[in-house]
Amino acid sequence: MTFLAIALGLAMLIIVDSMLTGIDQESFDRIINYETGHIKIFDREYREDEENMPLDKSIDNPAALITKVGTDPDVVGVTSRINFRIMLSDGIDQYPAVGIAVNPADDESVFLLKQAVAKGEFLKGSEEAMLLGEGLAEDFGVDVGDYMTVLTRTKYDTYQAIDLRIKGILKTEDPKIDYAAVVIPLGLGQESLDMGKGVTEIDIKLKDPARIQEFRDMLAKDIPGMEVATWKDLAADVIAISQAKRGGTSFMLFSIFVIALIGISNTILLAAFERTREIGMMAAMGMKRGQIVRLFVLEGAMIGVLGSITGCLLGILINIPFVKYGINWGFVMRDVGDIGYRVTGVSHGVWNINMIVIAFVAGILISALTSIYPARVASKMEPTEALRKA
Amino acid sequence: MPIAKMDNVIKNYKVGKVEVPALRGISLDIQEGEFTSIAGPSGSGKTTMLNLIGCLDKPTSGRVDVSNQDVSKLSSNRLADVRNYNLGFIFQTFNLIPVLSAFENVEFPLILLKKGTPKERKDMAMNMLNELGIMELAHRKPAEMSGGQQQRVAIARALVKGPKIVLADEPTANLDSVTGEGILKLMQDINQKTKTTFIFSTHDPMVMSYARRLVKVHDGKIQADERK
């Protein structure tokens, strides 16, 4: 039965790793595809006060910079946005939310918002319309064609209220969008917020995501007055939370593994005591202590092999539906609130071959190593003592 | 030249803080090819004598020679080598490995000795089972055999590597008298045929009657040494 403990530990390791890696990958993809692109350019002062979305620290003349970046052969797309704080109201209730003014003409060169319109249509030109996150629409009980009031402050801190028709509902699976975002056309945003031609950020998508850091460093040298940040810089807190969660989960799995290993050690020790006479007989026939140690270590390793094979197979089998269909976290994510992950519904597992190989080899090696102590105890029995025992 | 020799051997065991004497100055020569019984009541020291000649234990003082080699002060690994190459053991409770078949149990000492190729080892083990008339038990596990059959397998296991001495600690104690006599006759036949030295302990007069040399021990001392 000891091998089952190892098998369950390894299977859990494979499944939990698959789910966590899957959630991480999907979260990072959504951050890039809906929030940050690969690289963002801000005004330096804006970056320092980013939390408050200060409209007076914007990039006032983005056109030249957009053209300059856009001509770089490494760049696939460039767009610009304004992020601003709002209160959203249906005339009865009001909730705080984030306004995102996007350029309908080129937003899809960097982001996937256009593809995330689940109902209605994407924005055009500078029309007086908005896209609403699916969660917000549910909370307000509104739908495409309904009107809502966006209350905000302009660049000069004066109040502004605009009534906008809901043109589309967004379903991105990113809670920052689905539960908290109102998207309007950039032209409308610039006019309503007294921004002139200004934007708060320029967003860039590269051909080769592996060159993000290199490109960022080059660009930062080129435009010294600006702040250039990669998506990893911008999602540093999410990455840190993810690593912390992984650390906690790894510790839990490590504990399970240790318990399984204590089980192996105990099993080998019991086997040694149960077979005391056998050990005595083997010693009488001329088996040396080293050979007896090897015999029991081999037995431990065989338990490890059996546990590793069973555990890896079990983990792979259970992981197949997780990878293919995923798990719907929708029932818990909304109540849990913002925990960093960009998941509102289904999240898929991934195949991490490295983890499966590591789990397999570790199961065998650690089982064999754990058997050394009881094997040495067995080998130290005097043959005469061992033969005398019943 | 004796095949085994004990020279003024004293063996004390520690029980808690007390030293209990098991042998009190034993001297004994066993010649090659002898069929010797060490007889005496429980606690007389006969098993201790077998353990010392069998290189399973070391004397407190005195000297034990096996196959012309002083084994009194050898390391445990060297003692294991002496047992491996020179000695065969038959135990009162048979001590076959329960998960192995009769054939595998008999083959086991040959594997330990790394003797021959796998095919040669198989032939040697099967021949030995055949010689002892238990060829049909080759593929049975110990639990599927009677006590007498198990002891025959144990004898085959002791003999298969061609040891110079076979040591048997009360080999018939767990058998009924008819089966026990069968085992003794078998040991006697092998002794006569192969000239292998047999030393066995007993307190049973029937068993003693088969021995050609009877060494009687009492309270750790030799009381009588009779040759028939």
Report yes or no: B11 at the A interface, CB cutoff 8 Å: no
Q: Which residue stretches of chain B have pLDDT < 70?
A: none
Give mean pLDDT, residues A304-331.
89
Burial tier of A141 (Cβ tally within 10 Å: 0-12, 13-18, 19+): exposed
pLDDT band at A61 (very low <50, low <70, confident <90, very high): confident
- Burial code (b: 16+ CB inside 10 Å, e: under 16) for B95-122 equals bbbeeebbbbbbbbbbebbeeeeeeebe
Structure-token pair, residue A251:
């510790």
Candidates A278, A298, A379, A384, partner chain B, best to mutate (most B CBs within 10 A): A384
Residue of A278, A292, A387 for testing the chain B interface, max B β-carbons within 10 Å = A387
Q: Quick one: A371 and A255 in the same domain? A: yes
Q: Is the pLDDT of residue A291 over 80?
A: yes
Task: Give A309 to chain B, closest Cα distance, Å.
Answer: 24
- For A380, the closest chain B residue by CA position comes to B76
Does residue B85 belong to the interface with chain A, where contact is any CB pair within 8 Å?
yes
Lowest mean pLDDT among A23-27, A169-173, A266-270, B87-91: A266-270
Distance, in angstroms, between B113 CA and closest chain A CA? 8
Q: Which segment of A50-59, A69-78, A183-192, B214-223 scores lowest on mean pLDDT?
A: A50-59
Sign of CA dihedral A115, A120, A126, A129: negative
Specify which of A63-72, A239-248, A376-385 reaches the highest per-range mean pLDDT.
A63-72
> Residue B80: which of A278, A288, A384 has the nearest Cβ?
A288
Residues 178-207 of B with CB under 8 A from A: none
Question: Rounded distance, CA A135 to CA A177, Å?
Answer: 9
Say if B13 is an interface residue toward chain A (CB within 8 Å): no
Say what the pLDDT of residue A31 is.
92
Give A65-87 pLDDT, tens digit per residue.
Answer: 899 888 889 999 999 999 999 99
CATH number of the structural domain spanning residue A65:
2.40.70
Listed residue (A29, A28, A37) closest to A69, CA to CA = A37
Q: Does A366 touch chain B (CB under 8 A)?
A: no
In chain A, residues with a C-beta closer than 8 Å to the C-beta of B87 are: 286
Q: Which residues of B touch A376 (CB under 8 A)?
A: none
**CA-CA distance, B214 to A5, in Å (whole number)?**
57
CA nearest to B52, candidates B101, B7, B92, B105? B7
> What pLDDT is stored for residue A121 in this prediction?
95
- Among A83-92, A98-107, A274-283, the range scoring the smallest mean pLDDT is A274-283
Q: Are A22 and A61 part of one and the same domain? A: no
Report d(CA A288, CA A176) in Å as an integer. Answer: 67
Q: Is A43 inside any structural domain?
A: no
User: Across chain A, what does the average pLDDT equal?
Assistant: 87
Query: Looking at CA atoms only, how far is residue A2 from chain B in angstroms?
Result: 19
**pLDDT recorded at residue A305:** 93
Looking at the structure, tell me whether residues A364 and A246 fall in a common domain: yes
- Residue A277 contacts B, CB cutoff 8 Å: yes
pLDDT of res. A386: 75
φ, ψ for residue B62, nearest 5 deg: 95, -175
- Structure confidence by residue, pLDDT tens digits, B49-72: 999 999 999 999 999 999 989 999
Contacts of A384 in chain B (CB under 8 A): 51, 56-57
Number of domains in chain A: 2
Q: Give pLDDT, residue A338.
A: 63
Pair A380, A254 in one domain: yes
Mean pLDDT, residues A115-122? 94
Residue A117 has pLDDT above 90, yes or no: yes
A385 interface with B at CB cutoff 8 Å: no
**Does residue A384 or residue A139 have the better pLDDT?**
A139
Mean pLDDT of A298-315: 90
Instruction: Identify whether A32 is part of a domain.
Output: no
Give A124's contacts (C-beta < 8 A, 6+ positions apart).
Answer: A104, A185
**Cα-only R_g, chain B:** 17
Nearest in space to A25 (alpha carbons), one of A356, A352, A354: A352
Which residues on A lie below 8 Å from B57 (Cβ)?
Answer: 382-384
**Boundary-marking domain end, from A151, A176, A199:** A199
Q: What is the pTM of this model?
A: 0.69
Among A136, A168, A199, residue at a domain's last position: A199
What average pLDDT does the segment A139-168 reach? 93
| Domains in chain B: boundaries | 32-61+76-227
Q: Any idea which fold B32-61+76-227 has? A: Rossmann fold (3.40.50)
Least-confidence region, from A111-115, A318-322, A377-381, B36-40: A377-381
pLDDT higher at B153 or A382? B153
Q: Is A341 among the domain residues? A: yes
Taking residues A247-273, what's their average pLDDT? 77
Residues A11 and B69: their CA atoms lie apart, in Å, by: 57
Chain A contact present for B126, CB below 8 A: no
Quote the pLDDT of residue A337.
60
* Residue range A301-314: mean pLDDT, rounded: 91
Burial A357-371 (b: 16+ CB within 10 A, else e): eebbebbbebbbbbb
Is there a domain that residue A205 lies in? no
- pLDDT at A336 exceeding the cut of 70: no
Provide the pLDDT for residue A175: 87
Q: Which residues neighbour A332 within 8 Å (Cβ) at sequence distance 6 or greater? A: none
Per-residue confidence band for A335, with pLDDT thresholds at 50, 70 and 90: low
Q: How confident is the model at residue A263 (pLDDT cuts 50, 70, 90)?
A: confident
Q: Check whether residue A58 and residue A183 sit in a common domain.
A: yes
Q: B107 — contact with chain A (CB < 8 Å)?
A: no
Q: What pLDDT does A362 receive?
A: 85
Q: Give the mean pLDDT of A92-111.
A: 93
Select from B77, B81, B89 the Cβ nearest to the Cβ of A284.
B89
Maximum average pLDDT range among A139-153, A269-283, A343-357, B178-192:
A139-153
Who's near A161: CB < 8 A, 6+ residues apart? A149, A150, A151, A152
CB contact under 8 A, A283 and B56: yes
How far from chain centre, in Å, is Cα A232?
Answer: 12
Tokens linked to A177: 């969008």
Cβ proximity of A108 and A144 under 8 Å: no
Query: What span, in angstroms and rounded, lies between the C-alpha atoms of B95 and A103?
Result: 87
Do A118 and A170 form a contact (C-beta atoms < 8 A)?
Answer: yes
Does A208 reside within a domain?
no
Instruction: Clarify whether residues A186 and A93 are in a common domain.
Output: yes
In this structure, of A94-98, A230-234, A362-366, the range with the lowest mean pLDDT score is A362-366
Percent of chain A with pLDDT over 90: 44
Strand partners, A41: A202, A228
Domain interval for residue A81: 54-199
C-alpha B228/C-alpha B224 separation (Å) is 13
Asked if residue A342 lies in contact with residue A310, where contact means CB atoms within 8 angstroms, the answer is: no
A225 touches chain B (CB under 8 A): no
